[in-house]
Chain A
């Protein structure tokens, strides 16, 4: 059973008065306390900017085939070299960030929100519903993320939309399980009983009174999901089951170049590989820092 102090901590997280420090001071403090997290945030922000301003920061059309420059090594014209169809690897990586972020955010957001609603509902209703729902989640969670995504994409077919769906399906039970454990504590806090006593409907209690109070683990999980989604999308594309040519996507770039040109044109595989690594690394660092900041237990221990 949850104690009063735990309830207070959970509520306190969202009810702390707004800090009066200016933003740059807050940022400096944050950088001092969470240097690794800030590094992660910088990577994420850079990636987002890169995706938004891809048209400006790339010298070439990522789809433009230049057959006279096929497999050109990195130089002044093509800083990351060109691929086997003479396309600029740098431009494709920058545009690839769009694909990665679109798939990452879309699947993390949809999967996370569905998981949030289902997880809180499960905790709120409890009893037989919770029991059956959790066993169903157990079935889904028995499959590793990539295997489940592979199964879904095998049924639905390839393409960006189907890849997003394929990643959402395994995300939902993972999110629901974590959110449920937090929501179980919230459910025991008297204000939920008070809300019931006031005659509020289930939907209102779940969405307006419980869900906002599990935001901390939810946000942490969402951040981690974005990194995982990018990795899963890259894996599916690498296996030929994700987005399709000529769409610039990092996993697809790896698939096209890694095996055949590993020796003669390593840049074809190295740069997309680095992009995937950096992006996932950035989101993971950022997610860890967010957890440290938002998790009251970790915060109080610092």
Chain B
């Protein structure tokens, strides 16, 4: 059964999985059992703990070892159509005026170590995620602010009691980082008796899930290997005997790995030129899936600095950017494409184009827009102002779009330089308001959940990732209201007001373009459908290899030894 969010399904276009030469049709072929899928991953694994981490570098190799309570439908990942993973039957609807969700837990599911799964494992897991003890990092704890209590009335029932009805709750439960852990693992005691929180940290370095694959080995810097979990709870799955996630930080290496047949797929995404090169080289042997990507690419002027405290300067900055033009030409060289507001274009909460074109920075006439920008800068006494962009040393899309932004601002007389730093120092700088003038501010989410995700743009006192370092009580109030609003129409109205204030009235945040996901993969990889996020649809339980039996057997022999 679909949730209320499901009914807010993506409109046409968002869900289009476009192949290089046409549409990738849903496969009606019979899946074949066996073989090992080889994937390439471009980032390191900081730890194995999904609750703690937020990188695809962990999700891609580790997610196949774990299950979730509910998940985005792997056969329809473009929608917010949630289905049960460890729960049973349909996804529950709320009772008690939207304040109670009761899940029936699947019987017969087993952890890889043989421990049977019960509702108590789910409760222990979510207590760690929502109410982590001091000293235990849970990355999404603030987004579960609506949860009051999690309990298990019996061994196979889990109940979530909310403080207030919130349409953002179910999408948060479906977040792919919510790996379900065994209660006994979370309660493990330090054999050396030193660390009282040993169990809560156990999953940072150990893996025991109920996912489609069980852990075989992790050679840091080389690969992660998993083999089929024979007692997996989805009957007949997984189709693969195993998977191997090969570490390849350089994009050129990942592209060549697919081209040379050393890997079958990469799940994050390649730039358009690489897609074209692969298609040209491999022809029908490569299939390309493309999708809108639930990642914003924007910037924020640091409002602890006097220049950016003047909203006319911030408005001029957004007016200078030719978003509609960039959507055409930047999309040819970078992984950005769609012009949009704060909600993923295509989502029912996304602003329609006509309204968007009334906001500063979205006017179709760029010359008029830049004239207005110059006027505002003059009024603010900021003509020819100088500042630096704090950018990340990653080509796609950071450096490409950052360099484009320099050119755009130069055209209204601003004097802008770029400081490009490696990922670690870049994040550290973002957390230090003294370190930068204007921050590149991307935000990648998994399940499309605009209401909860809008929390990034509320006041700095409440939003840890507010890169503009501003305080805006009006936004805070509207955010709280829309998160508690049960009526979708009223909620949308609040969202419009919120968005207009962020992008236009106050111009706290400059949304540039939404990312665009391009996944070229070997055509024999079947059963995987592109989602609007590189975090979603990574359980691999529905993936199979359409290669001759001998080749599948050989792959299993090569990677798992038979």
Contacts and interface: CB of A to CB of B under 8 A. Distances in A.
B273 A260 contact: yes
A70 B333 contact: yes
A15 interface: no
A186 to B, nearest CB: 46
A217 interface: no
Interface string A243-285: 0111000000000100111011000000000000000000000
A256 B393 CA distance: 12
Given A63-B410, A67-B329, A85-B407, A245 B277 contact: no
A65 B406 CA distance: 10
A71 B277 CA distance: 14
B418 A245 contact: yes
Interface string B323-345: 00100110011000000000000
Nearest to B325: A67
A233 to B, nearest CB: 16
A244 B329 contact: no
Contacts of B96: none
A158 B420 contact: yes
Nearest to B271: A260
A157 interface: yes
A264 B395 CA distance: 18
B171 interface: no
Nearest to B406: A246
B419 A158 contact: yes
A222 interface: no
B453 interface: no
Contacts of B273: 260-261, 264
B404 interface: yes
A239 to B, nearest CB: 9
Interface string B245-274: 000001110000000000000000001011
A84 interface: yes
Contacts of B325: 67
B417 interface: yes
Contacts of B400: 84-85
Count chain B CB atoms within 10 A of each CB in A84, A158, A244, A259 and give the residue with the most.
Answer: A244
B271 A245 contact: no
B421 interface: yes
A159 to B, nearest CB: 8
Nearest to B334: A84
B333 to A, nearest CB: 5
A245 B407 contact: no
Interface string A135-161: 000000000000000000000011100
A245 B403 contact: yes
B431 interface: no
Interface string A44-74: 0000000000000000000101011011000
A138 B338 CA distance: 56
A240 interface: yes
A157 to B, nearest CB: 7
Count chain A CB atoms within 10 A of each CB in B325, B333, B393, B417 and give the residue with the most.
Answer: B333
A235 to B, nearest CB: 15
A245 B402 contact: yes
Nearest to B422: A240
A104 to B, nearest CB: 22
Contact of B404 (A65, A68, A158): A65
A259 B251 contact: yes
B399 interface: yes
Contacts of A159: 419
B113 interface: no
B276 interface: yes
A244 B407 CA distance: 14
A245 B399 contact: yes
Count chain A CB atoms within 10 A of each CB in B251, B403, B421 and give the residue with the most.
Answer: B403
Interface in A74-92: 84-85
Contact of A245 (B252, B328, B332, B406): B406
A259 B252 contact: yes
A92 to B, nearest CB: 12
A104 B128 CA distance: 56
Contact of A70 (B250, B280, B332): B332
A299 B325 CA distance: 64
Nearest to A255: B395
Contacts of B271: 260
Contacts of B332: 70
B229 to A, nearest CB: 38
A85 B395 contact: no
B420 A244 contact: yes
A246 B403 contact: yes
B420 A245 contact: yes
A251 to B, nearest CB: 13
6 contacts: A71-B333, A158-B419, A158-B420, A240-B422, A246-B403, A263-B277
Given A63-B410, A260-B273, 16 more contacts: A63-B407, A65-B407, A67-B329, A85-B403, A157-B421, A158-B420, A158-B421, A244-B419, A245-B420, A246-B403, A246-B407, A246-B418, A259-B252, A260-B274, A261-B273, A264-B277
In the complex, the 6 A-B pairs of residues with the closest C-beta atoms, listed nearest first? A67-B329, A259-B252, A245-B403, A65-B407, A84-B333, A240-B393
